[in-house]
Amino acid sequence: MRRIVWVAVGAAGGIVAYRRIQQAMLEARERGVVLSVQQVGLSAMQAVNSARVLASGAMAAAEARSAGPSGSSGSAAAHVIEKSQQKGT
């Protein structure tokens, strides 16, 4: 079960990174070389942050499952969403 979770996290992170890089490359063609280097750096940073949020969500879910049965099955997901919203503001 743990492998499936990590495979899903990796796949989701890969898709997010691929789409952000693809978008950055499209914008780079329009803007030029100097701005494209800056945009690629920003896009890479955003992809890493997205992967970090996904990984922390998976870890929180795994910890919630290992802690034992709880009253609501979505509590770990709600906790991760709340954390990401706090970091975003």
Q: Where do the structural domains in the chain lie, given as residue ranges?
A: 2-88
Question: What residue has token string 């929180």?
Answer: 60
- The percent of residues above 90 in pLDDT, for the chain, comes to 3
> Which of 11-15, 37-41, 84-88: highest mean pLDDT?
11-15
Mean pLDDT for 31-50 is: 80
Question: Which comes out higher in pLDDT, residue 32 or 49?
Answer: 49
Q: What is the dihedral of CA 89, 8, 5, 17, to 10 degrees?
A: -40
- pLDDT value at residue 86: 77
* Residue 76 CA neighbour count, 13 Å, CB half: 18
pLDDT at 69 exceeding the cut of 60: no
89 falls in which pLDDT band (50, 70, 90)? low
Cα gap 56→52, rounded to integer Å: 6
Please, which residues have CB within 8 angstroms of residue 64's CB and are 6 or more apart in sequence?
70, 75, 76
Q: With a threshold of 0.75, does the pTM exceed it?
A: no
Q: For residue 44, how far is the Cα from the chain centroid?
A: 12
The number of residues in the chain equals 89
